[in-house]
Amino acid sequence: MTLIAPAKNDVVPPATVFMTGTASDDVAVGTVAVSVHDLGTNRWWNALDAVWGPTKTWNLAGYAGAPTTNVSFSFGFVGVGVGADYVAQTKVTDVAGNAKTGLTVPFSTGSGAPPDTIAPTVTVLTPVKDAAVPVGAVTIGGQANDDKGVASVEVSIKDRGTGLWWNPGSGTWGTLKWMPVALSAPGTAATSWSTSWGGGVPGGAYFAQARVTDTSGNMDGGVHPSTRFSTV
Q: Where in the chain is the domain with CATH 2.60.40.650?
A: 2-109, 121-231
Per-residue pLDDT of the chain (232 residues; tens, 9 = 90+): 899 999 999 999 888 999 999 999 999 999 999 999 999 999 999 998 899 999 999 999 998 876 689 999 999 999 999 899 999 999 999 999 999 999 999 999 987 666 678 899 999 999 999 999 999 999 999 999 999 999 999 999 999 999 999 998 899 999 999 999 999 999 999 999 999 999 999 999 999 999 999 988 899 977 899 999 999 9
Choose which CATH entry (2.60.120.200, 3.30.200.20, 2.60.40.650, 3.50.30.50) describes domain 2-109. Answer: 2.60.40.650
Which of 51, 56, 49, 62 is closest to 19 using CA atoms? 62
Distance in angstroms (rounded) separating the CA atoms of residues 33 and 110: 25
SS3 151: strand
Question: What predicted TM-score, i.e. pTM, was given to this entire model?
Answer: 0.61
What CATH number should be reported for the domain whose range is 121-231?
2.60.40.650
- Cis link prior to 67 (omega < 30° from 0)? yes
Structure confidence at residue 231 (pLDDT): 97
Cα of 13 vs its chain's centroid, Å:
21
